[in-house]
Amino acid sequence: MTNLWNERFNTTEYIYGEEPNAFIKEYTFQLENLKKVAAFAEGEGRNAIFLAKSGHDVTTFDYVESGLNKTVQLAEKNNVKVKTVQVDLLEGSVPNEQFDAAIMVFGHFRKEDQRNVFEKILKSVKPGGKIMMELYSEKQLDYRTGGPKKLEMLYKPQDILDWCENYKIVHFFVGEQSRQEGTLHTGLAHVIQLIIEK
C-alpha cells in the first residue's frame, strides 16, 4: 500500500485538490481557541494548510513521503508553515496529549485496524480537546465517487459511536454529501462526520 500511495502522490498535480475538505472548512469554528492541531493521514496537506492559514499551529502525520513533500510545498505556496511527521499509524507511535485538537479526513484503514488508529488519535489530544473526522461509510461502495472499493476499508457508523461512548459527541452525521476534491473525490458521497470532545 505504501508504494501505491507514494506513486499516487508523486505528481505535480494535487490529486485531491488544494482546497480543504468541505466539512473541515464548515466546522473550523469548532477549533476556535484550540491552537495546536494534529492532522492525521493528511496526504498532500490541503486541510493542514487551511488550518495553518486560519492561525493554527499544525502538525501533519502521514506515512507517505511524497505526500509530506507536497504538504511542505503547498505550505510554502501559501506562506505558512506546518510540521510534517512521517509515521505509519498502524505500527508507529504518536505524541501523548500534545495537541489541542486533531483531524482526520478520509483516512483509509482496514476494519481490524480502525479502532487502533482512532485510539492513537484520541491519545494525541489533551483532555478537553476536540477530534474532527469525515470518513466514507460502508454505503459509499454504491456511490463510486471516491474512496476504497473494498468494504473492509470503509467505516460502520455504529462502530464509531461505540468508540465514542465515553466522550461528548458535539456533532455526528451519517448521509449524503457532495464532494468535489480533485480528480478522485467527485460527486455525491456517503460519509460519516464526527466531532467529539475528549
| Domain range list for the chain | 2-197
34 vs 7, higher pLDDT:
34
C-alpha span between 29 and 173 (Å, rounded): 17
- Which tens digits make up the pLDDT trace of 148-165? 999 999 999 999 999 999
Q: How many CB atoms lie within 10 A of CB 82?
A: 23
C-alpha span between 107 and 111 (Å, rounded): 12
C-alpha span between 88 and 41 (Å, rounded): 9
Residue 1 above 60 pLDDT?
A: no
Supply the pTM of this predicted model.
0.95
**What pLDDT score was predicted for residue 20?**
97
* Distance between first and last Cα of the chain: 31
98's grid cell = 500534545
- Which tens digits make up the pLDDT trace of 12-59? 788 898 999 999 999 999 999 999 999 999 999 999 999 999 999 999
Question: 2-197 maps to which CATH number?
Answer: 3.40.50.150
> CA nearest 85: which of 77, 99, 4?
99
For residue 7, the number of C-alpha atoms closer than 13 Å in the C-beta half-sphere is: 4
The DSSP output letter for 155 is B
Segment 167-181 mean pLDDT: 97
| Dihedral sign from CA coordinates of 114, 156, 60, 100 | negative
- Which tens digits make up the pLDDT trace of 53-95? 999 999 999 999 999 999 999 999 999 999 999 999 999 999 9
Please provide the average confidence, as pLDDT, over all residues in the chain.
94
